[in-house]
């Protein structure tokens, strides 16, 4: 009787051990199937920072938590510029990064200019951005095109996709975003706007990458009126270098930036995406108003 009881007890213990072993095996298998390796920052990364290897760490996350646009290769992230703050618990997604250079190539140099929060799109411009440069005139300029149309123009775009390599406060530090983006369900544009609305200081000095043509356009524009910057959609790829607009070349040839004239004659037509003003058609009721597109 005692022997039968011992055999039964051993059988129960073996069965319990088998069940426990099988459960541990299944949990381990489930863990392997439902998790993955990814890359996260060791600390919060601010906009304008260039990523180095020491800023990154490997992490294991549930597959369901993986962002489809996140970069999981450490080597692919090194050298990228941060466009939007990235918290230490976030993956590094593509739209928050830029691989565009911040150093001069042949024929380019760094140039710095005084600025303020209004010119910097309400203090939303950061290191690593590509901005469009507009000139606002104190008084509208009358511009006559080759077709005979006359425009009253209040502002013109002179440069597109100008690389910003620094935005400094009066005290010297870089203007960055004070807090990280919350991990909530928002569009890329909304997250960008939320991050850019929390600067850590006011801008006083902008530094750009410029070649001679771009520098001339910026200087002539600042002589003729007030410089205002515009931010294109930063969630989309941009150009690698700043370029002057065709409209600037037309107006420069007509001495529009250096001479005070009652009317300026240009040889071509105005690109409506590069002007803010009205086309005069003889009566005020037929005036066509055009606003800038960026």
CA 213 to centroid of chain Cα atoms: 24
Q: List the one residue out of 159, 194, 153, 161 whose CA is nearest residue 177.
A: 194
Query: Which residues in the chain are classed under CATH 3.90.1210.10?
Result: 35-98
What is the CATH topology of the domain spanning 35-98?
Type Iii Antifreeze Protein Isoform Hplc 12 (3.90.1210)
Q: Which residues contact 63 (CB under 8 A, 6 or more apart)?
A: 34, 35, 36
The 10s digit of each residue's pLDDT in 9-51 is 666 666 766 666 666 766 655 555 688 899 999 988 877 788 8
Angle, helices 246-253/212-224, rounded to nearest 10 degrees? 60
Please tell me whether the overall predicted TM-score, pTM, comes out greater than 0.75 for this model: no
Lowest mean pLDDT among 27-36, 38-47, 168-177, 274-283: 27-36
Contact 192, 83 (CB under 8 A): yes
pLDDT score recorded for residue 102: 76
Residue 26: both structure tokens together: 């299944």
Residue 282: both structure tokens together: 């003889």
Instruction: Report the alpha-carbon distance of residue 107 to residue 101 in Å, rounded.
Output: 15
Q: In sequence order, which ranges of the chain are alpha helices (DSSP H)?
A: 2-34, 74-77, 188-196, 212-224, 246-253
């Amino acid at each position: 009787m005692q022997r039968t009881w011992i055999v039964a007890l051993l059988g129960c213990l073996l069965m319990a051990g088998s069940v426990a072993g099988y459960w541990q095996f299944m949990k381990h298998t489930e863990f392997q199937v439902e998790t993955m390796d990814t890359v996260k920052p060791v600390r919060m990364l601010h906009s304008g920072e260039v990523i180095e290897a020491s800023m990154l760490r490997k992490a294991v996350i549930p597959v369901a938590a993986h962002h489809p646009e996140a970069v999981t290769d450490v080597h692919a992230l090194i050298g990228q510029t941060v466009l939007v703050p990235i918290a230490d618990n976030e993956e590094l997604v593509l739209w928050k990064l830029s691989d565009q250079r911040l150093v001069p190539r042949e024929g380019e140099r760094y140039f710095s200019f005084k600025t303020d929060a209004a010119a910097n799109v309400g203090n939303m411009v950061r290191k690593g951005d590509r901005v469009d440069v507009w000139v606002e005139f104190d008084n509208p300029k009358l511009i006559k095109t080759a077709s005979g149309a006359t425009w009253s123009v209040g502002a013109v775009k002179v440069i597109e996709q100008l690389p910003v390599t620094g935005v400094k406060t009066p005290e010297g530090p870089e203007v960055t975003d004070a807090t990280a983006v919350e991990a909530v369900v928002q569009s890329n544009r909304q997250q960008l706007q939320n991050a850019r609305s929390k600067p850590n200081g006011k801008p006083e000095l902008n530094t750009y990458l410029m070649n001679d043509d771009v520098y001339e356009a910026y200087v002539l524009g600042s002589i003729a009126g007030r410089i205002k910057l515009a931010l294109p959609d930063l969630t989309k790829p941009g150009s690698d270098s700043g370029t002057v607009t065709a409209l600037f070349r037309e107006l420069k040839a007509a001495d529009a930036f250096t001479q005070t004239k009652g009317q300026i004659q240009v040889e071509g037509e105005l690109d409506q995406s590069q002007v803010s003003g009205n086309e005069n058609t003889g009566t005020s009721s037929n005036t066509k108003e055009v606003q800038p597109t960026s």
